[in-house]
């Protein structure tokens, strides 16, 4: 790949990421949420109560970030945190009734954002996109062990 092609790909990914996050922030603001908090709520809706460390792993974010998000969401009444019954050092996080209601609004917003983002793409492209994006994510995942080929 030459520089011009590499630059075009990298710039497109960078701009999509920046603009998607900005649009997410714009849509979440009326709900009193910031980007990242919706992912925490959606993960709890999918899985049920989780230990905060597991939530960090599931969201692929650092533990202090989850702690800060959880504190803010708890203060707003959207989640409840309590000591894990089998490990007093661990904290279980779960949605409150208000958090479940808010999550339903987030799901609607998430659908609208996806439709807005994917406008103009064919059904086939939309069906392929999650797999393609997952491959790109895996290709740049800094947590994966580097192979011999990567080191060369």
Is 99's pLDDT higher than 50?
Answer: yes
Answer for the pair 37, 73: CB distance below 8 angstroms, yes or no: yes
Query: In this predicted model, what pLDDT tens digit does every residue of 115-152 receive, in sequence order?
Result: 999 999 999 999 999 999 999 999 998 765 554 444 44
Question: Which domain CATH number covers 50?
Answer: 1.10.10.10
Instruction: Report CA dihedral (20, 144, 67, 18) to the nearest 10 degrees.
Output: -10
Name the residue range of residue 62's domain: 36-119+126-138
Looking at the structure of the chain, the number of domains it has is 1
Give the Å distances, CA to CA, from 98 to 43, 111, 152.
Answer: 16, 20, 52
Does 20 fall in a domain? no
**Predicted model pTM:** 0.85
Alpha helices in 29-119 (DSSP H): 37-47, 52-59, 63-75, 97-118
Local confidence band at 45 (pLDDT 50, 70, 90 cut-offs): very high
Picking from 36, 69, 38, the residue whose alpha carbon sits closest to that of residue 52 is 69
Does 58 fall in a domain? yes
Does 82 fall in a domain? yes
pLDDT of 86 reads 87
Does 5 fall in a domain? no
**Average pLDDT across the chain, whole number:** 92
Does 108 fall in a domain? yes
- How many angstroms separate the CA atoms of 37 and 44, rounded? 11
Is 46's pLDDT higher than 60?
Answer: yes
Does 1 fall in a domain? no
Answer for the pair 103, 119: CB distance below 8 angstroms, yes or no: no
- How many angstroms separate the CA atoms of 68 and 66, rounded? 5
Does 71 fall in a domain? yes
pLDDT of 146 reads 52
Does 17 fall in a domain? no
């Amino acid at each position: 790949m030459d520089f011009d092609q590499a630059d075009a790909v990298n710039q497109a990914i960078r701009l999509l990421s920046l603009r998607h996050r900005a649009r997410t922030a714009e849509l979440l603001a009326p709900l009193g949420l910031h980007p990242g908090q919706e992912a925490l709520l959606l993960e709890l809706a999918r899985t049920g109560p989780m230990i905060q460390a597991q939530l960090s792993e599931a969201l692929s974010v650092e533990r202090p970030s989850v702690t800060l998000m959880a504190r803010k969401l708890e203060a707003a009444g959207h989640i409840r945190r309590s000591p894990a019954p089998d490990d007093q050092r661990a904290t279980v996080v779960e949605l409150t009734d208000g958090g479940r209601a808010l999550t339903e609004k987030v799901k609607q917003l998430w659908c609208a954002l996806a439709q807005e983002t994917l406008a103009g793409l064919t059904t086939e492209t939309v069906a392929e996109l999650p797999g393609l994006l997952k491959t790109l994510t895996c290709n740049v995942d800094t947590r994966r062990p580097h192979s011999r080929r990567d080191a060369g």
